């Protein structure tokens, strides 16, 4: 007889379907519920990215933290069997504590007792703006739904301390920006063969910008997703000002200046529209430091660990990467061959801590960017095409 007794969350009137809160309303193995935080100082010295996710239909909970300082990336990853208490947001040394929903959260990573140089932190994250819904995100491949997610994003500040590599970094309110994203739904988990979808609907190209920006008195969120021919499948540019209604800023168009011979953005201008229709607005972007999500953080196409995969009980892995070494982070121009002989690139989405300008204001945020394969508006012809 299956163990299907009530779980702690069943005490609360939060049910959406006639099921225990132990279960989600879909049997899709790719069901997920997770979060990501970005914290960085305004000089670009340090960028910390961390997150936690649960995968109810594979019975996995996992978490990660990655810190970039200079060319060194410190990573901690942990995975375990998913338990019944969904309010316990901890895996191994990594923990997220909701102290006041949508307002204050505590982020902690315990040090490795056998390694004084290991990554550790204790940080309080605080919201400066209300949470903002992102567009409902749906992707299909052929006739199959491969992604359906609901997300909200929020910007604020942080205070606390980070320790790594023998250094102690003070996280100081006013000198650091902190954003977060919560999402849930269905999203591909490794381990399921695509089969016919790979053959009948090969990926020609993909272009993505996800950009939360915090100014002193306002918050701006920009999202674009485009296919190889530039057809836009996701679009948003919303301005949040406390005490004012949210305003949409039109159809964002980004002019990106890439480092020669790469697809690494060094700066950009995102063209927006004034909500009062008084003319165009320009969001200037200057990248400060970067962290590839495929290195340490478990995002595709990481080959050492990816989210939602079973690693056994009480799995914890700590390591450092040298981002100056191409062997640690293959450039997107390196061509690989799959077992079927189809070429694809060693690529991944990269998160850039950045300084932004808008109408005379200076702000800070994340310029998350990925452009793979063909993208006609950018002039990229295929997976091997790079900026001149």
List pLDDT tens digits, range 140-167.
888 888 899 999 999 999 999 999 999 9
pLDDT of res. 376: 97
Look at residue 110 and tell me if it is in a domain. Answer: yes
Is 148 inside a domain boundary? yes
The total number of structural domains that make up the chain: 1
Q: What's the Cα-to-Cα distance from 51 to each of 218, 231, 378, rounded to whole Å?
A: 25, 31, 31
pLDDT at 275: 78
Residue 34 scores a pLDDT above 60: yes
The DSSP symbol for 380 reads B
Q: Does any domain span residue 344?
A: yes
Average pLDDT, the chain: 91
Whether residue 219 is predicted with pLDDT greater than 70 in this model: the reply is yes
> What number is the average pLDDT over the span 81-95?
96
Asked if pLDDT for residue 334 goes beyond 50, the answer is no
**CA 49 – CA 144 distance, rounded (Å):** 31
Task: Specify the pLDDT at position 330.
Answer: 56
pLDDT classification of 301: cutoffs 50, 70, 90: confident
Please determine, for residue 341, whether its predicted confidence score (pLDDT) is greater than 90: no
Tokens of 202: 């090969």
CATH number of the domain encompassing residue 169: 2.40.370.10
Residue 212 placed within a domain: yes
Contacts by residues 101-104 (CB-CB < 8 Å, ≥ 24 positions apart): 102/127, 102/130, 102/131, 102/154, 103/127
At 329, the pLDDT band (50, 70, 90 cuts) reads: low
User: Which of 48-57, 200-209, 310-319 shows the lowest per-residue confidence on average (mean pLDDT)?
Assistant: 200-209
**Structure confidence by residue, pLDDT tens digits, 49-81:** 999 999 999 999 999 999 999 999 999 999 999
Which pLDDT belongs to residue 299? 93
Q: Write out 275-328 in H/E/C secondary structure.
A: CCCCCEEEEEEEEEEEEECCCCCCCCCCCCCCCCCCCCCCEEEEEEEECCCCCC
pLDDT of 249 strictly over 70 = yes
Q: Is residue 57 assigned to a domain?
A: yes
In the predicted model, what is the mean pLDDT of residues 202-218? 94
Q: Please give the pLDDT value at position 332.
A: 45
What is the pLDDT at residue 116? Answer: 86
Residue 242 lies in a domain: yes
* pLDDT at residue 342 greater than cutoff 70: no
Residue 370's DSSP bridge partners are: 208
The tens digit of pLDDT for each residue in 103-112 reads 999 999 999 9
Checking if the pLDDT of 95 tops 50, the result is yes
pLDDT band at 344 (very low <50, low <70, confident <90, very high): very low
163 or 277: which carries more pLDDT confidence? 163
Q: Is residue 385 part of a domain?
A: no
**In the prediction, which pLDDT does 325 show?**
84
Q: Which of 73-77, 127-131, 192-196, 235-239 has the lowest mean pLDDT?
A: 192-196
Q: How confident is the model at residue 122 (pLDDT cuts 50, 70, 90)?
A: very high
- How does residue 254 score in pLDDT terms, banded at 50, 70 and 90? very high
Distance CA 308, CA 51 (A): 12
Confidence check: pLDDT of 338 > 60: no
CA distance 247 to 219: 11
Residue range(s) defining the domain that contains residue 279: 32-188+203-378
Is residue 200 within a helix (H) or strand (E), and if so which, with residue range? Answer: helix 196-200
Sorting pLDDT into bands at 50, 70 and 90, what band is 340?
very low
Query: Residue 1 — pLDDT band, cuts 50, 70, 90?
Result: low
CA 32 to CA 159: how far, in whole Å?
29
């Amino acid at each position: 007889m299956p163990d299907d007794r009530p779980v702690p969350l069943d005490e609360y009137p939060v049910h959406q379907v006639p099921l225990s809160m132990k279960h989600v309303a879909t049997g899709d193995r790719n069901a997920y519920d997770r979060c990501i935080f970005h914290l960085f100082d305004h000089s670009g010295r340090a960028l910390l990215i961390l997150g936690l996710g649960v995968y109810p239909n594979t019975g996995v909970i996992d978490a990660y933290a990655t810190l970039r300082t200079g060319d060194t990336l410190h990573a901690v990853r942990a995975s375990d069997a998913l338990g019944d208490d969904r309010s316990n947001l901890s895996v191994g040394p990594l923990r997220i504590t909701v102290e006041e929903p949508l307002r204050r959260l505590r982020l902690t990573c315990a040090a490795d007792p056998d390694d004084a140089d290991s990554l550790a932190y204790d940080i309080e994250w605080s919201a400066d703006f209300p949470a903002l819904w992102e567009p409902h995100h749906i992707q299909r491949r052929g006739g199959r739904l491969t992604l359906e997610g609901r997300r909200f994003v929020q910007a604020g500040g942080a205070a606390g301390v980070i320790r790594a590599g023998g250094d102690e970094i003070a996280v100081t309110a006013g000198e650091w920006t902190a954003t977060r994203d919560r999402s849930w739904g269905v999203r591909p988990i490794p381990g399921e063969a695509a089969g016919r979808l790979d053959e009948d609907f090969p990926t020609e190209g993909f272009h993505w910008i996800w950009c939360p920006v915090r100014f002193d008195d306002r918050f701006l969120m920009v999202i674009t997703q485009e296919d190889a021919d530039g057809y836009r499948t996701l679009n948003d540019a919303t301005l949040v000002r406390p005490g004012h209604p949210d305003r949409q800023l039109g159809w964002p168009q980004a002019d990106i200046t890439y480092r020669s011979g790469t697809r690494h953005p060094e700066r950009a201008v995102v063209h927006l529209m004034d909500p009062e229709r008084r003319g165009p607005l320009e969001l200037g972007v200057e990248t400060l430091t970067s962290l590839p999500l495929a290195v340490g953080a478990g995002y595709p196409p990481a080959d050492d660990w990816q989210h939602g995969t079973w690693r056994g009980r009480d799995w914890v892995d700590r390591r450092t990467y040298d981002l100056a070494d191409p062997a640690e982070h293959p450039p997107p121009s390196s061509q690989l061959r799959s077992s079927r002989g189809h070429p694809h690139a060693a690529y991944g989405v990269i998160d850039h801590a950045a300084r932004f300008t808008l109408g005379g204001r200076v702000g800070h945020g994340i310029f998350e960017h990925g452009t793979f394969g063909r993208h006609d508006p950018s002039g990229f012809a295929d997976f091997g095409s790079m900026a001149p």
